[in-house]
Amino acid sequence: MIRLLFFIVLIVAFGRCTDTKEYTGLTGVWQVEEIGDLTPFRRYNVSIRQHEFLDSVYVVNNFSRAGDLTETYIEYANYRITILGQQVGTLYIFDGQGDVQPDFKLITLTYKVNNNLTGRQETFTANLRRN
């Protein structure tokens, strides 16, 4: 009987554990879930860091799975992200916008990718999350 009571208390205690991690900005690693007009659903990680000199600009590595060595610049102000039309690497031009939740745990984006090699343009929607 005591063992049963102990296991019930243990289950209740672990069941009440919640994620209490708080974020105060965009910097860090995010898990991306995106889908495009032509590209099927995919999941991958990006890292975001603040620009060394510009407070409202952030650098995203591996945006749209373009590679860890690629850097995409985004502007952030008032929970709004803007991706100004920019060439990333030799193949892609990114352009779009999105919103950041006030708790900094979710970013929703809609953006266009122009492929210079094929001449195709594709629209993506993505959710970026972190625990």
Domain assignment of residue 8, yes or no: no
**Within a domain: residue 2?**
no
Give the model's pLDDT for residue 130: 92
In this prediction, residues 71-86 reach a mean pLDDT of: 96
Query: 0.85 exceeded by the pTM?
Result: no
Confidence at 10, pLDDT banded by 50, 70, 90: very low
Contact 130, 33 (CB under 8 A): no
User: Quick check: helix, strand or coil at residue 21?
Assistant: coil
Residue 16 lies in a domain: no
Element of type H or E holding 47: strand 42-50
Looking up tokens 């629209």 gives 123
Question: Is there a domain that residue 3 lies in?
Answer: no
List, in order, residues 6 or more apart from 119 with CB less than 8 Å away.
Answer: none
Residues of the chain with pLDDT > 90, as a percent, come to: 71
Whole-number pLDDT of residue 18: 57
Residue owning tokens 């749209």: 64
Q: What is the mean pLDDT of the chain?
A: 88
Domain count, the chain: 1
Q: Residue 56 sits in which domain range?
A: 23-129
For residues 73 and 31, what is the distance between their CA atoms, to the nearest angstrom? 18
Let me know if residue 13 belongs to a domain: no
Inside any domain, residue 10: no
Secondary structure (3-state) at 11: helix
Is the pLDDT at 13 greater than 60? The verdict is no
Which CATH number fits the domain that encloses residue 48? 2.40.128.420
Count of CB atoms situated within 10 Å of the CB of 17: 7
> For residue 48, what pLDDT is reported?
96
Distance CA 107, CA 96 (A): 13
Domain presence at residue 36: yes
Q: Does residue 21 surpass a pLDDT of 70?
A: yes
User: Is residue 105 within 8 Å of residue 129, measured between CB atoms?
Assistant: yes
| 11 assigned to some structural domain | no
- pLDDT at residue number 9: 46
Average pLDDT over residues 73-102: 94
